[in-house]
Chain A
């Protein structure tokens, strides 16, 4: 069964801390893994990963994929209150449908 599992479910840290969010997947015909940030409304796209070991980076956010071990991590360094959100991981299993995990709720305390 195609499945995406995220951990932890929630995380509370202080501003300035570094966090690592995890996403594991069990999908056949895996093509890509995507990360989204969801604040109050619609999810917004962060990264798409298709190849193992190649880090994608955008400012303080970075992500990497391990296709052998079937997982991805999202790192956020020097966290800010604006990073507070739900982070969603999704996998594409070859027919343009995305399977989403339940998300990690990240709260940054000033």
Chain B
């Protein structure tokens, strides 16, 4: 089982460029999440999707959009990248309605210059 797969692993963008971070899970999980991790800030929720066809804002949604393409895939888009979006991004998934926590992808290190 691959679990949660994120692409790309590394990316450097110039200010104003756009890009999409891809995430796919093969565990038949209903819920998927995007977090960002910054030094001293812990993991902060950007957006989540409780089920296919639904998305909701998290703690820090500004500057991002998401698409739950199907049950497996949840993408995060930066329309106009800013240096403040330099971070490590983690996708995660979970079984809705249980307390089993998340399975995380390996992360995307994004630098905006």
**Using a CB–CB distance below 8 Å, which chain A residues touch chain B?**
31-32, 34, 36, 41-45, 48, 50, 88, 90, 92, 95-103
Q: Which residue of B lies closest to A89 (CB)?
A: B42
Q: Are B90 and A97 in contact (CB under 8 A)?
A: no
A56 to B103, CA, bound (A): 20
Q: How far is the CB of A33 from chain B (nearest CB, A)?
A: 10
- Is B33 part of the binding interface, using a Cβ–Cβ cutoff of 8 Å? yes
Q: Are B43 and A42 in contact (CB under 8 A)?
A: no
Contacts of A90 in B (CB 8 A): 43, 101
Contacts of A102 in B (CB 8 A): 40-42
**Chain B 71-113 interface residues, beta-carbon cutoff 8 Å to A:** 90, 94, 96-97, 99-107
**Using a CB–CB distance below 8 Å, which chain B residues touch chain A?**
31, 33, 35, 40-45, 48, 50, 58, 90, 94, 96-97, 99-107
Contacts of B48 in A (CB 8 A): 96-97
Q: Are A48 and B42 in contact (CB under 8 A)?
A: no
Please list 9 pairs of residues, one from A and one from B, whose beta carbons are closer than 8 Å in the complex, sorted by A's number: A42-B90, A42-B105, A43-B90, A88-B42, A90-B101, A96-B50, A99-B45, A100-B42, A102-B41
Known: A41-B106, A102-B42. 6 other contacts (CB 8 A): A42-B104, A42-B105, A42-B106, A45-B103, A96-B48, A100-B35
A103 to B97, CA, bound (A): 26
Contacts of B102 in A (CB 8 A): 43, 45, 98
Contacts of B43 in A (CB 8 A): 43, 88, 90, 100
Q: Are B100 and A48 in contact (CB under 8 A)?
A: yes
Q: Which residue of A lies closest to B59 (CB)?
A: A99
For B33, B58, B101, B102, which residue has the most chain A Cβ atoms within 10 angstroms?
B101
Contacts of B44 in A (CB 8 A): 100
Q: How far is the CB of B92 from chain A (nearest CB, A)?
A: 8
